[in-house]
Every structure is written in C-alpha cells, then in structure tokens.
Amino acid sequence: MFADLFHTHQPVPNHERTFVEEAMVPSAAQPDPRVERIILICWLLIAVKHVAVIWTVHHYQVPFHQLWVNAPTWLLATVATAIYYFSNRRA
C-alpha cells in the first residue's frame, strides 16, 4: 500500500514458492431428501389450508378477504423455501 522508501523489506528467497499453485473449491452440499420431503408435506398442508380458508370465508360470509390469511402464509413459506434452496446451493 505504501512505497518502501527506506528499503526495509528484505527480498524473499525462493520467491517461486510464494505463488498459489492450486485452489480447492468445495462442491455444493447435496440437499437432504428428508428435508425436501418435509418441505413438500408443508406445501401440501398450506394448499389444503388455503382451500379451507377460501371455503370458510365464502360459506360463512366472513367480513374480510381470504388473502389476509393466505397471503402471509404463502409469502413466509416461499421465503423459507427459497432460503433453504439458495443457501444449500452456495454451500
């Protein structure tokens, strides 16, 4: 970073050994089948819940839209699934 004005730096003997000869990049971790099965089961349960909420809101004339319940559920599940798959991909 700064110039060596007083020449205090000693030359390194055998300077060929200071260069990087090989770099090892770890391979991506394989997804766990049990976790993927749990994610699939959770998405199926979320789908059933969405249908049940839509039916309940229409059948009982609830004074709010079903997306007040379904949208946060879908959003959080999407974020959690994306975090799992993208973090597993970079590992």
Predicted pLDDT of residue 4: 62
- Would you report the helix, strand and coil content of the chain in percent, each value rounded to 5? 60, 0, 40
Q: What is the pLDDT of residues 54-69, one digit of tens each?
A: 999 999 988 999 999 9
Task: Tell the burial category of 74 from Cβ atoms under 10 Å away from its Cβ (0-12, 13-18, 19+).
Answer: middle
Percent of the chain, pLDDT > 90? Answer: 53
Least confident of 20-34, 36-50, 59-73: 20-34
C-alpha 39, offset from chain centre: 13
As a whole number, mean pLDDT of residues 58-82 equals 94
Q: What are phi and psi of 38, to 5 degrees?
A: -65, -40
Residue 91 has pLDDT above 60, yes or no: no
Using DSSP's 3-state secondary structure scheme, residue 27 falls into coil
Domain extents in the chain? 39-91
